[in-house]
Amino acid sequence: MKTSLITRRKMISNAAHALAGLALTTSCAPLAEPDRKQSARRGFKLGVCDWTVGKRTDPASFEIAKRIGVDGVQVDFGSGENDLPLFDQQLQQELLGAAKEHGMEVASLALGVLNNVPYKSDPRAEQWVARSIDVCKAMGTDVVLVPFFGQGELRNDEKGTDVVVQRFKNIAPKAEEAGVSLAIESWLSADEHMDIINRVGSGAIKVYYDVGNSHKAGYDIYKEIRQIGKHICEVHAKDYDNLYGMGSIDFPGVRRAMDDAGYRGWIVMEGTKMPLGVEASCRYDAKYLRRIFPTGA
């Protein structure tokens, strides 16, 4: 259903007021000494998922990312039965060429297909995760998002979780040698994520923390960020209710939790609400996040 002109104008007005008042609400406490002082020098980078802008595994995603005003793109591997588009070296080069042309970076890679081809049960998924490490190296990034939603769900699946732990143990040495993080994104709690990480026993297994998903699942995301801490390798910015700053996620609170956890790195937008249209909504969200997660913070 199309947004009426009046509703659209009201949304734009609300967004403008939210940005205007942001400076009064986002004064984060200073980083504690000495650990977070070093982290603060690194700052944040903003990215967007290629599927959020409707350009999954498509070089055109970088042109859109440039217009939105972010620093890079999270690139999905795409879908397939026995192979995935991003395993093609020519496509890898086309994506890298587009990134360079528009002054963008590849923030990370994502194996979204695993929601339908579960890592816990399908041998193809096991092979794809192993091969994704090589693609990471080829594309100059060091994070692969390994999702566990849909058919890959791990909640209340002890047997499936045991398989995942064993498969991570098998592939962890390769990931460690390559300097690549295999990042779990799921509906699991912080305790459950940490249980998997501890059982695998490898620094290559990390958490891809999605603030929107975890909030929707009923977790205290500000407490969880502090709890998972150094095991978070990348973050999805998401709000299921509205544009950022007008929904249910307290992003200044997220920043304070990240300060306490010592997290600096990519904040990747995975938008779900686009009341102004895809590009305009993403541009607003990026501008909002820049105020809270600046490059030099």
The pLDDT of residue 35 = 40
Q: Is residue 22 part of a domain?
A: no
Indicate whether 76 belongs to any domain: yes
Q: How confident is the model at residue 271 (pLDDT cuts 50, 70, 90)?
A: confident
pLDDT at 194 over 90: yes
Q: Which pLDDT tens digit goes with each residue over 123-142?
A: 999 999 999 999 999 999 99
Quick: pLDDT tens for 227-246: 999 999 999 999 999 999 99
Please say whether the beta carbons of 61 and 104 come within 8 A: no
Residues in Cβ contact with 182 at an 8 Å cutoff, skipping those fewer than 6 apart = 129, 133, 144, 146, 168, 171, 172, 175, 204, 205, 206
Q: What are 77-95's pLDDT values in tens digits?
A: 999 999 999 999 999 999 9
pLDDT at 259: 97
Domain that holds residue 105: 32-292
Domain assignment present for 209: yes
End-to-end CA distance of the chain: 40
User: The whole model's pTM is what?
Assistant: 0.87
Model confidence pLDDT, tens digit, residues 242-260: 999 999 999 999 999 999 9
Mean pLDDT score across all residues of the chain: 90
3-state secondary structure of 180: coil
Predicted confidence (pLDDT) at residue 263 exceeds the cutoff of 80: yes
Establish if 15 belongs to a structural domain: no
pLDDT, residue 296, reads 82
> What percent of the chain has a predicted confidence (pLDDT) above 70?
86
- How many C-beta atoms surround the C-beta of residue 103 within 10 A? 11
> What interhelical angle do 190-200 and 158-178 show, nearest 10?
60
Task: Say which residues have a Cβ less than 8 Å from residue 174's Cβ, sequence separation at least 6.
Answer: 130, 133
Peptide bond into 275 cis (omega under 30): no
Element housing 205 (H / E)? strand 205-210
The answer to whether position 254 is within a domain reads yes
pLDDT digit string (tens) for 17-71? Answer: 444 444 433 333 333 333 433 443 479 999 999 999 999 999 999 999 999 999 9
Give residue 221's pLDDT.
Answer: 98
Q: Is the pLDDT of residue 159 over 80?
A: yes
Residue 63 lies in a domain: yes
What is the average pLDDT across 71-79? 98
Give the total number of structural domains in the chain.
Answer: 1
Give the CATH number, domain containing residue 212.
Answer: 3.20.20.150
Indicate if the pLDDT at residue 146 is higher than 70: yes
Residue 259 lies in a domain: yes
* Helix or strand holding residue 168 (H, E): helix 158-178
**17 in any annotated domain:** no
- Picking from 17-21, 116-120, 164-168, which range would have the lowest pLDDT averaged per residue? 17-21
